[in-house]
């Protein structure tokens, strides 16, 4: 190795060591006389967080990676009393992490103005979710509790090189906590207004010391309903869910480890907390629903990660295998009235399997190389039933719209989907402080479908019994009328290159600047929920994004202050959008098309400062400026493509998000310590539907908590409040023509003010 390269390697190692030592020294100074088994909240925020977003042979400090990342370790999640991912929805700039609130467990994630507004399982997301490195192929059933996690990483901006397609907005990485080589036990109980009860526990122990460790964790949630149904005076949307997660970790010598995790979960729930805003004020939680519906979901998932250290490049060969089986059955009442105008049922089955094989190594401390191969396959079955009823209060013979009711509709489809990928990423140290970043991924995928347009059929005897003669996909008895159309192509392949080029400049030991350009792609495909009598359900083309990002990351004041900033500019071509409009025949039509090109730009700022060893202030701000630059489709459905379409606002793109917070740790008369926390965050109003009819309300969310832990006791008591201002927000708002003659909407409400208590035990 030349003297120059030796100097580069030495400086890079010293810089990393200084950043780690700065945080460690600060943590030791703060600990002094009080060292409870459960970390203080300020200590949790002080701890360094390592992330896996770069897929290198070793995890990196979050401040080291040249990406816009918000990361939470186990200690941070516990300190912030995070119950599930949606609790983080108002905690980062330009990020929304919410349920769609029509189909239970269907994520509605959006980052930097890119997301989806659909529960259709054949529609690919713009924000990918990865559990222990395994991509989840459909959005339904993809929301998670955060108990027994090692961490969550939220990556903002396209991540196509390392994570493939469908991460044009970003990615959410969920990492489970592995079994320990020592006995560990952790249990948590939460009791919230509603009444909502959550019980969680995990136990880990070595089975063969130094070789085999095992763990089992479980969760049970009994929610008796936060909302009140004015039609009955009873609590609305009660439900129960549970999951169990056994796992093992095998270690052979110092060069090989294998981690295998299995999860089984079930949900039995009410369905669809919808408010009709033709009848009720949008600033209230008032709702009146005639049919409470139901939601039954069940899933099984296996992940297996094997790591083998090799001499070549002092690297690691990693293989990540994943399998998931999911099914969901539901009925809900989207008209959100006490009268049965419109009922909607879904049945979804999904089987997926994936495997990623990669190598990561370092050569002469100059080149950090990652190479990988990827395979993904899934089968999706989607059956939909709709029931439209004549309004009983109308004059005799007068029907809903132009349709005599009741009518029963049936249809859906089956999709077979395979993806193949090869990728590489390399960091090249040009000088001791400047690195060149290069990446490239090639993806190829195939999709084939059989689709039955959702059309009227024989009357159903009840909410989900499909009668003879109707499309019955679960029983493999259906006429695929769309496939019979000679203009419809039921098979389509897509290919894409995702390149990246950038630079990382470590201009100080505790600060860096970075710049990169990257290209990402969102899969093309088909619409399995086809009700249009004229529009074919695909195939629509893939969406492409060219993204430019400049960022700064710095720590100062001996590690007391952390500041991160990012500027981004995204050009999106062939943007996929779900155009939604009411229909007098089927109730609702959803068309998926490449509607437009768009420009999305903005900035993000986040940071924290330790005013004293036990008092920390946090804050963030994000701004998004989004507009269409070219319109390819009649988004407003007024018969012409014109400036009215061009001047529409992009959905799910609030202009401003910001928040501030404070955490104070104090000793209590030498018997323990108390923690007080308060956070306020704001999100601007944005449109939900592409035609700018559905609106997502602005949100001002105030949350607070007080916790107490006795000295040297492995226990913590907490009381907390979420959304203390009782602000009304929603995960969706779709236009629907109910009641007849009025522009009603289905607004999927989030919970309002919640107060609760928590007991956490850990040893």
**What pLDDT is stored for residue 463 in this prediction?**
66
Q: Which of 109-123, 424-438, 450-464, 532-546 has the lowest mean pLDDT?
A: 450-464
In angstroms, the CA 670 to CA 2 distance is: 58
Both tokens of 756, joined, read 């609760």
For the stretch 49-81, pLDDT in tens is 888 899 998 888 999 999 999 999 998 898 888
Q: Are 320 and 131 in contact (CB under 8 A)?
A: no
What is this structure's pTM? 0.92
Cis peptide before 739 (omega within 30 of 0): yes
First CA to last CA distance, the chain: 48
**What pLDDT is stored for residue 26 in this prediction?**
37
Show the CA angle centred on residue 141, arms to residues 232 and 684, nearest 5°: 75
CATH architecture of 3-762: Beta Barrel (2.40)
**What pLDDT is stored for residue 4 in this prediction?**
41
**What pLDDT is stored for residue 634 in this prediction?**
93
Q: Which of 433-447, 474-488, 575-589, 747-761 has the lowest mean pLDDT?
A: 575-589
Q: Phi/psi at 644 (nearest 5 deg)? A: -60, -45
Largest distance between two CA atoms of the chain: 94
In angstroms, the CA 508 to CA 498 distance is: 31
Tokens 């946090």 appear where?
618
Show the CA angle centred on residue 672, arms to residues 669 and 676, nearest 5°: 95
Instruction: Kindly give the pairing relationship between strand 212-223 and strand 239-252.
Output: antiparallel
In angstroms, the CA 40 to CA 717 distance is: 13
In angstroms, the CA 520 to CA 102 distance is: 29
In angstroms, the CA 653 to CA 116 distance is: 11
For 459-508, give the secondary structure using H, E and C.
CCCCCCCCCCCCCECCCCECCCCCCCCCCCCCEEEEEEEEEEEEEEEEEE
In sequence order, the 6+-apart residues with CB closer than 8 A to the CB of 568 are 68, 112, 157, 547, 548, 549, 550, 600, 601, 602, 603, 604
Q: Phi/psi at 605 (nearest 5 deg)? A: -145, 130
For the chain, which residues make up each domain, given as ranges?
A: 3-762
For the stretch 3-45, pLDDT in tens is 444 444 444 444 444 444 344 433 333 333 333 345 566 676 6
Of 195, 190, 100, the closest CA to residue 145 belongs to: 190
Both tokens of 119, joined, read 């529960």
In sequence order, the 6+-apart residues with CB closer than 8 A to the CB of 490 are 448, 449, 450, 451, 482, 483
pLDDT-above-90 percentage for the chain: 66
Tokens 């710049």 appear where?
515
The DSSP bridge partners found for residue 136 are none
Alpha helices for 482-600 (secondary structure H): none
Instruction: Kindly give the pairing relationship between strand 127-131 and strand 170-176.
Output: parallel
pLDDT tier for residue 204 given thresholds of 50, 70 and 90: very high
In angstroms, the CA 648 to CA 691 distance is: 7
Show the CA angle centred on residue 201, arms to residues 200 and 205, nearest 5°: 160
For the stretch 80-104, pLDDT in tens is 888 888 889 899 999 998 887 766 6
Average pLDDT (157-185) is 96
pLDDT tier for residue 434 given thresholds of 50, 70 and 90: very high
Tokens 């089968």 appear where?
379
Entry field: residues in the chain: 763
Q: Are 526 and 537 in contact (CB under 8 A)?
A: yes
Which of 249-253, 669-673, 688-692 tops mean pLDDT? 249-253
Average pLDDT (362-376) is 96
Tokens 């990615």 appear where?
171
Q: Are 580 and 734 in contact (CB under 8 A)?
A: yes
For the stretch 636-653, pLDDT in tens is 989 999 999 999 999 999
Helix (H, G, I), strand (E, B) or coil at 635: coil
- Residue 366 confidence (pLDDT) above 90: yes
Q: Which of 248-262, 543-557, 577-591 has the lowest mean pLDDT?
A: 577-591
Cis peptide before 195 (omega within 30 of 0): yes
pLDDT tier for residue 105 given thresholds of 50, 70 and 90: low
For the stretch 553-572, pLDDT in tens is 999 888 899 999 999 999 99
- Residue 167 confidence (pLDDT) above 70: yes
In sequence order, the 6+-apart residues with CB closer than 8 A to the CB of 628 are 596, 597, 598, 645, 646, 647, 648, 650
Both tokens of 238, joined, read 């009660």
For the stretch 509-534, pLDDT in tens is 999 999 999 999 999 999 999 998 88
The residue with greater pLDDT, 576 or 461, is 576
For the stretch 226-274, pLDDT in tens is 999 999 999 988 989 999 999 999 999 999 999 999 999 999 876 778 8
In angstroms, the CA 218 to CA 428 distance is: 44
- Residue 753 confidence (pLDDT) above 60: yes
The residue with greater pLDDT, 404 or 213, is 213
């Amino acid at each position: 190795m030349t003297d120059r390269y030796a100097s580069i390697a030495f400086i890079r190692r010293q810089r990393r060591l200084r950043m780690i030592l700065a945080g460690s020294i600060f943590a030791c100074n703060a600990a002094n006389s009080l060292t409870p088994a459960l970390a203080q909240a300020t200590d949790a925020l002080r701890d360094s967080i390592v992330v896996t977003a770069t897929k290198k042979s070793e995890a990196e400090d979050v401040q080291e990676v040249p990406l816009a990342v918000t990361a939470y370790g186990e200690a941070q999640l516990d300190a912030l009393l995070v119950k599930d991912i949606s609790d983080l929805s108002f905690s980062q700039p330009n990020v929304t992490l919410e349920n769609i609130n029509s189909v239970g467990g269907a994520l509605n994630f959006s980052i930097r103005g890119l997301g989806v507004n659909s529960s259709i399982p054949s529609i690919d997301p713009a924000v990918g979710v990865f559990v222990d490195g395994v991509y989840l192929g459909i959005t339904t059933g993809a929301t998670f509790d955060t108990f027994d996690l090692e961490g969550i990483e939220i990556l903002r901006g396209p991540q196509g090189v390392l994570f493939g397609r469908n991460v044009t907005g970003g990615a959410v990485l969920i990492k489970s906590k592995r079994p320990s080589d020592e006995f560990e036990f952790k249990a948590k109980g939460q009791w919230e207004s509603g009444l909502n009860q959550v019980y969680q526990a995990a136990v880990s122990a070595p089975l063969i010391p130094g070789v085999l460790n095992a763990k089992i964790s479980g969760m049970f949630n009994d929610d008796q309903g936060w909302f009140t149904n004015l039609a009955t005076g009873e609590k609305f949307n009660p439900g129960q869910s549970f999951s169990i997660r056994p796992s093992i970790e095998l270690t052979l010598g110092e060069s090989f480890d294998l981690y295998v995790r299995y999860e089984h979960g079930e949900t039995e729930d009410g369905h669809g907390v919808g408010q009709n805003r033709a009848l009720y004020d949008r600033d209230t939680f008032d709702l009146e629903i005639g049919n409470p519906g139901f939601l039954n979901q069940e899933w099984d998932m296996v992940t297996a990660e094997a790591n083998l250290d090799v001499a070549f490049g002092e690297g690691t060969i990693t293989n990540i295998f994943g399998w998931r089986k999911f099914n969901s059955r539901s009925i809900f009442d989207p008209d959100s009235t006490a009268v049965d105008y419109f009922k909607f049922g879904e049945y979804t089955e999904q089987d997926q399997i994936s495997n990623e094989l990669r190598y990561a190594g370092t050569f002469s401390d100059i080149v950090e190389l990652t190479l990988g191969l990827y395979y993904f396959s899934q089968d999706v079955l989607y059956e939909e039933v709709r029931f439209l009823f004549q309004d009983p209060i109308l004059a005799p013979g007068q029907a809903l719209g132009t349709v005599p009711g009741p009518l029963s509709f049936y249809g859906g489809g089956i999709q077979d989907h395979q993806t193949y990928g090869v990728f590489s990423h390399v960091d090249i140290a040009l000088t001791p402080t400047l690195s060149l970043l290069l990446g490239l991924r090639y993806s190829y995928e195939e999709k084939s479908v059989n689709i039955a347009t959702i059309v009227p059929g024989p009357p159903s005897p009840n909410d989900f019994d499909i009668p003879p003669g109707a499309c019955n996909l679960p029983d493999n008895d259906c006429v695929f009328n769309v496939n019979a159309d000679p203009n419809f192509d039921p098979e389509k392949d897509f290919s894409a290159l995702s390149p990246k080029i950038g630079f990382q400049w470590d201009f100080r030991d505790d600060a860096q600047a970075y710049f990169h350009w990257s290209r990402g792609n969102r899969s093309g495909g088909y619409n399995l929920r086809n009700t249009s009598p004229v529009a074919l359900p695909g195939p629509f083309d893939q969406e492409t994004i060219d993204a430019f990002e400049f960022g700064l990351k710095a720590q100062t004041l001996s590690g007391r202050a952390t500041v991160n900033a990012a500027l981004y500019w995204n050009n999106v071509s062939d943007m996929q959008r779900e155009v939604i409009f009411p229909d007098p025949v089927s109730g609702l039509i959803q068309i998926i098309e490449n509607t437009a090109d768009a420009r999305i730009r903005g900035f993000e700022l986040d940071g924290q400062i330790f005013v004293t060893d036990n008092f920390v202030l946090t804050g963030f701000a994000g701004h998004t400026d989004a507009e269409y630059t070219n319109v390819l489709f009649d988004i407003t459905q007024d018969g012409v493509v014109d400036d009215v379409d061009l001047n529409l606002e992009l959905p799910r793109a609030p202009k401003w998000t910001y928040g501030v917070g404070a955490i104070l740790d104090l000793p209590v008369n030498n018997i323990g310590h108390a923690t007080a926390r308060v956070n306020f965050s704001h999100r601007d109003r944005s449109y939900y539907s592409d035609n700018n009819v559905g609106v997502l309300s602005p949100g001002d969310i105030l949350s607070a908590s007080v916790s107490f832990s006795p000295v040297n006791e492995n226990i913590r008591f907490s009381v907390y409040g979420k959304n203390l201002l009782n602000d009304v927000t929603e995960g969706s708002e779709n236009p629907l023509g109910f009641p007849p003659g009025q522009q009603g909407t289905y607004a999927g409400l989030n919970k309002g003010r919640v107060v609760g208590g928590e007991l956490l035990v850990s040893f």
